Amino acid sequence: MGAGIVEVFARNGIDVIAVDASDEAVERGRSFLTKSTGRALERGKIDQAAYDALHGHVTYASALESLAPCQLVVEAVPEHLDLKKEIFAQLDKIVADDAVLATNTSSLPVTEIAASTSNPKRVVGMHFFNPAPVQQFVEVIRTVITADDVFEDVKALAQRIDKKPVIVGDKAGFIANALLFGYLNHAVAMFESRYATREDIDAAMKLGCGYPMGPLALLDLIGLDTAYEILDTMYKQGRDRLHAPSPIIKQMVSAGLKGRKTGRGFYTYAGAGSPEIVADGHTPGEGAPEGVIVREVSSVGVVGSGTMATGIIEVFARAGRSVTFVARTEERVAGVLAAIEKSQARAVEKGRATREEADALLARLHPSTSRADLAEVDLVVEAIAEDLDLKQELFRDLDRICKPGAILATTTSSLPIIDCAKVTSRPEDVVGMHFFNPAQVMKLVEVVHTVSTSEDVVATVQSLCRELGKHPVTCGDRSGFIVNALLFPYLNDAVKMLSANYATADDIDTAMKTGCGLPMGPFELLDVVGLDVSLAIERELYIEFREPGYAPAPLLEHLVTAGYLGRKTGRGFRTYA
């Protein structure tokens, strides 16, 4: 981080004195800078003249006294409050009275750091994100005693070096980490309880939400020791139980398993500092477990006629399966066929399929308005409304109609699957198969087993998903499964942050998109999903886990009551044309 900040300033024509604790540490920092700028030179992002000019702006030293002539000093040492306070106390005596002192802390109280100096008015937070030369976002943290001119100068400087500054108050975690680390901590708890494997948790968030990294891989990159310090600081300041570090984090840090930098964290790496993940004793095997025989699935039934059902029908037919789909009326049957024909016409037009392939796919479709036509299929996927009474009535009927050994699957995203299974005489054959919308595009399928689901049913559905070109992740039958259980508490935290007037919706969205690389900010996403849908999911999570921190934010409830449901009504957290 220190070397990255040096590069940012030097690249913008600002003279920098780079200081570290020893000559050896200085040389390590110099090598980071040389390697980073060398890559930029090789890739044509800068030319030789720019490379030489950048390095010409940097001088190196191993004594704090070398910083005496600086107008701004940015501290980027490890996240230990006592260490930062000691350094600021020394800097206070070294630099000129009008020099600005900035801390790059991501979680520690800037006010407390400022109090270690004789002039706390000149201390400000300037939190860069890693890698600093690439990430545009900078949190500028203003304490209650920061002088107005200091704050304005640092904000202007951030803009001058082509960053997007967001101004926040001195609260643990600021915007990005306050939202990010609650989510990361929840993912660790999910892994610690063996609810899902590390690979499935990470794949679920990457494929289901479009995140650049899964939460456990991200923690390995950040460093588990750093993550523990951030969470511990946030918990001590806010006493939010969701920020209390999961016990396994401290255990791993004590064992020296700190992530990439030590070669081992949640994953095992090719070496210390290497990004290459290598197999270890926890890496899951491929295929079905030993002794488990996968059932044959050559014909499939789908019940439903909405967008999700239509997508699932097309996915199965594209994979060569005979698909019998049942809708309530002939009109709805015609609507499904028209939608799939239109989709296939687009695929042919764009060269993704030939006319012959499209015709063959359509020939594999067998529409019906009678559930009795599902009698001989090997698997039935239910994709009707999210109403437990309706689903239970359907599963009773399917249990009566379908042949022995047929698998009964539900696409529910929130209801207990065991409640569907218990109304049948074959609960061992009932499983969750949660596709993501649009099913034709999204790779992820959550395969959800109940306490009754047999191993061969789980293995069969996993294998089938792979044949469909999907990525299955497996978890138990509890509210939210993997994706929603991790996503919606984070969205709820964002609403609470907005309600507390800590930051605007625009600043929070900017923080999470530019600071954390997420494809959408929380308020953009809430408006797309629908505030009523989001509220319903958050209520389910709260009822399931009885965690006070999961209680839906009152602001979200008020917006739903007012009919402001997001894009679909033209108004949610934002107003649409």
Each residue of 80-118: pLDDT tens digit?
889 999 999 999 999 999 999 999 998 889 999 999 999
Q: Which residues of 212-232 are buried (b: 16+ CB within 10 A; e: fewer)?
A: ebbbbbbbbebbbbbbbbbbb
> Does residue 367 carry a pLDDT above 90?
yes
pLDDT of residue 323: 96
* Banded model confidence at residue 359, pLDDT cuts 50, 70, 90: very high
Stated pTM of the model: 0.88
How far apart, in whole angstroms, are the C-alpha atoms of residue 203 and residue 449?
18
Which three-class secondary structure state does DSSP give residue 522?
helix
Q: Angle, to 10 degrees, between the axis of helix 483-499 and the axis of helix 198-209?
A: 60
> Taking 90 as the threshold, does the pLDDT of residue 552 lie above it?
yes
Residues 57 and 111: their CA atoms lie apart, in Å, by: 31
Q: Exposed, middle or buried, 491 (CB in 10 Å: 0-12/13-18/19+)?
A: buried
What are the residues facing 302 on neighbouring strands?
325, 381
3-class SS of residue 171: coil
d(CA 441, CA 468): 11
Identify the residue whose tokens are 């070496």: 271
- 254-265 pLDDT tens trace: 999 999 999 999
What is the distance between the alpha carbons of residues 270 and 160, in angstroms, rounded to a whole number?
40
Q: Where in the sequence numbering do the catalytic residues fall?
A: 413, 434, 446, 484
pLDDT digits (tens, 9 = 90+) for 68-80: 999 999 999 988 8
Chain mean pLDDT for the chain: 93
Q: Which domains does the chain have, with CATH numbers?
A: 1-167 (3.40.50.720), 176-278 (1.10.1040.10), 299-478 (3.40.50.720), 492-569 (1.10.1040.10)
CA dihedral 365, 368, 373, 377 (to 10 degrees): 30
Tell me the per-residue pLDDT of 196-236, one tens digit each, with 9 for 90 and over.
Answer: 999 999 999 999 999 999 999 999 999 999 899 889 988 88
> What confidence tens digit (pLDDT) does each residue in 413-449 have?
878 999 999 999 999 999 999 999 899 999 999 999 9
Instruction: Please spell the DSSP secondary structure of 401-459, one letter per residue.
Output: HSPTT-EEEE--SSS-HHHHHTTSS-GGGEEEEEE-SSTTT--EEEEEE-SS--HHHHH
Position 5 pLDDT exceeds 90: yes
Q: 176-192 vs 224-238: helix axis angle to the nearest 10? A: 110
As a whole number of angstroms, the distance between CA 85 and CA 69 comes to 21
Is 90 exceeded by the pLDDT of residue 174? no
- Report the run of H or E that residue 88 belongs to, with start and end: helix 81-94
- Would you mind telling me the total number of residues written for the chain in this entry? 577
Beta pairing, strands 164-169 & 268-269: unpaired
Confidence band for 377, pLDDT divided at 50, 70 and 90: very high
Q: Say what the pLDDT of residue 286 is.
A: 80
Top pLDDT among 59 and 414 is at 59
Rounded to an integer, the average pLDDT of 11-21 is 95
Contact between 427 and 406 (Cβ < 8 Å): no
Strand partners, 259: 264
Could you give the percent of the chain with pLDDT greater than 70? 100
What CA–CA distance (Å, rounded) separates 508 from 499? 12
Cα separation, 560 vs 576, whole angstroms = 16
CB 573 within 8 A of CB 505: yes
- Whole-number Cα distances in Å, 529 to 81, 437, 488, 556, 568: 40, 11, 11, 13, 9
- pLDDT given at position 169: 87
Given this model, what pLDDT does residue 134 score? 87
Spatial separation of the C-alpha atoms in residues 105 and 269, rounded to whole Å: 27
Cis check: omega of the bond before 215, within 30 degrees of 0: no
